[in-house]
Amino acid sequence: MRKSLTAGAFGGFLFALITGAVMMPYQDQLSLGFIDSQAVIGAYPGTAEAQATFTVENDAWQRQANDMQDEINRLNQELERQSMAMTQERRAQLTAELQQKAMEYQGFIDEIWGQTGRAYQRNQELMRPIIDKVNALLEKVGQDEDYDFIFDAASGGIVWADPRFDLTPKIIDMMSTGPTPDNR
């Protein structure tokens, strides 16, 4: 709840800041629009196919991880059940094998589902054409229908803006040559 209130307050502040800064130099009517990116992407016909492809591949990775986990469990049970009857050498060998399998399993988990793992990369690869299409449509609608800003209700961010409102080049120029807030 607190996060949404903070995000809402920040969003309201950002909106007031943008409209105030934008309206002063351009005494025109500011044209704003918004989308729900989750609904747009969900409605796109290719999304279901991309999700199905990803699910099939993810399920295969999950089966592989389960097989690895089963092998670790089997070795662990064997070590626990037969530990007293094993020679010290066999116990050490089985313990080392168990540790090796556990490290391989963890490496596999990190490789597949880690922060930039194969699952993340594959999802990006499958969704990129859909996101590119949405972005192209946003640009077309923004330009053709004279929107100044288009927001995303799902993320609360700007998904398209008229380039004339981009202050980045001005600020970069001011950083190297112009006045700073300390020495106007």
Residue 151, classed as helix, strand or coil, is strand
Arithmetic mean of pLDDT over the chain: 86
Integer Cα distance of 181 and 167 in angstroms:
16
Query: What tens digit of pLDDT does each residue of 95-107 get?
Result: 999 999 999 999 9
**Per-residue confidence (pLDDT) for residue 86, from 0 to 100:** 87
Cβ proximity of 32 and 147 under 8 Å: yes
Residue 25, classed as helix, strand or coil, is coil
pTM over 0.95, yes/no? no
Place of tokens 């037969």: 82
Q: Is the pLDDT of residue 22 over 50?
A: no
Q: Is the pLDDT of residue 126 over 90?
A: yes
Write b or e for each residue in 62-83: b if 16 or more Cβ atoms lie within 10 A of its Cβ, otherwise e.
eeeeeebeebbeebeeebeeee
Task: Identify residue 140 by its one-letter amino acid code.
Answer: K
Taking residue 100's Cβ as centre, other Cβ atoms within 10 Å add up to 12
